Amino acid sequence: MDFKKAEEMLNLCDKEGLTISEIMKMRECEQFETTQEEIILKMKKAWEIMKESAQSPTENAVKSIGGLIGGEAKKLNEHRLQGKGIVGTIMSKAITYSMAVLEVNASMGLIVAAPTAGSAGVVPGVLLALQEEYNIPDDKIIDGLFNASAIGYLAMQNATVAGAVGGCQAEIGVASAMAASAATELMGGTPRECADAASTVLMNMLGLICDPVLGLVEYPCQNRNASGASNALIAAEMALSGIKQMIPLDEMLECMYNVGRRLPVEFRETAKGGCAKTPTACNLCNKKL
């Protein structure tokens, strides 16, 4: 059940008549010589941490260590509850929860890197929003997480998830691809539709730089988690409607990696370009010093 490429994974799904999450579970059991019960138990623990980090800041604002973010998730949640939201319930919840996780991360709270700390809000944001809207039980959400982990695994094998290597397209981009694929499976999509959704996200976020203000994983990271959650839902919607992705996931991962390696060093988590180099950001840096 091992696979190194998306096409190999999809061929296994076709051959066995299984979903991506089922194939990933079997792969994990074989690779780590363990049982499905054991890996599911570990994933349940991860999901509980994800839910807590996504929900708690919506009621109790959390200030970041660097002081750049804190309280945004609560503001978004209150905005929605007051009936003022303009993007619909699922999207509103997804962006709220994704931003909430970054508040927990930036305040040294407990989060699940998915695939990194700086992009940790996207997957739980999307999955928790879908769970609440469609009353999806936790065991199905766990399946979604295994699906997402398969996409993250492929990114690690064939590209990168590090902003320092490939820019924010590698962090938020891959996190969004993971969420898009998981959402597609949860809503009844086929394995190939899941891969199409993941590929679409990478295409839409291609070239996104990593430019943390003050060198902290706070701003614009938090905003981009919300953007990534939105991109994931858009890509899933497209895939579920039958829109096919012209470029296969394997090729899009390679494309993203090549683009990332060609980004100037200023745009790869060094805080020497982009938002981090604006006059306002520089003034903040001088104040900190």
What's the average model confidence in pLDDT over 108-116? 98
pLDDT of residue 286: 81
Tokens of 220: 């614009």
Show the 3-state SS of 210-231.
Answer: ECCHHHCCCCCHHHHHHHHHHH
Tell me the mean pLDDT in the region 177-202. 98
Taking 3-state DSSP, the helix, strand and coil percentages for the chain, each rounded to the nearest 5, stand at 70, 0, 30
Peptide bond into 220 cis (omega under 30): yes
Mean pLDDT calculated for residue range 199-203: 98
Report pLDDT for 160: 98
What's this model's pTM, rounded to 2 decimal places?
0.97
- Which helix (H) or strand (E) covers residue 101, if one does? helix 89-106
Instruction: Give the Å distances, CA to CA, from 221 to 4, 121, 169, 205, 286.
Output: 30, 10, 12, 14, 21
pLDDT, tens digit, 9 for 90 and up, residues 156-179? 999 999 999 999 999 999 999 999
Is residue 207 within 8 Å of residue 259, measured between CB atoms? yes
For residue 273 the two structure tokens come to 């370009």
Task: Tell me what pLDDT residue 289 has.
Answer: 52
Distance CA 229, CA 251 (A): 22
Q: Is the pLDDT of residue 5 over 80?
A: yes
The predicted pLDDT at position 107 comes to 97
pLDDT band at 66 (very low <50, low <70, confident <90, very high): very high
DSSP 51-64: HHHHHHHHHS----
CATH says 6-288 is which class?
A: mainly alpha
On average, the pLDDT of the chain sits at 97
- Answer left, alpha or beta for residue 85, where phi above 0 means left and psi between -120 and 50 means alpha: beta
Q: Label residue 288 by pLDDT band (50, 70, 90).
A: low
Asked if residue 211 lies in contact with residue 273, where contact means CB atoms within 8 angstroms, the answer is yes
Token pair for 238: 């497209």
Please give the pLDDT value at position 287.
78
What is the sign, positive or negative, of the torsion defined by CA atoms of 77, 79, 83, 86?
negative
Burial of 81 (0-12, 13-18, 19+ CB in 10 A): exposed
> Using one digit for the tens of pLDDT, what is the confidence trace for 202-257?
999 999 999 999 999 999 999 999 999 999 999 999 999 999 999 999 999 999 99
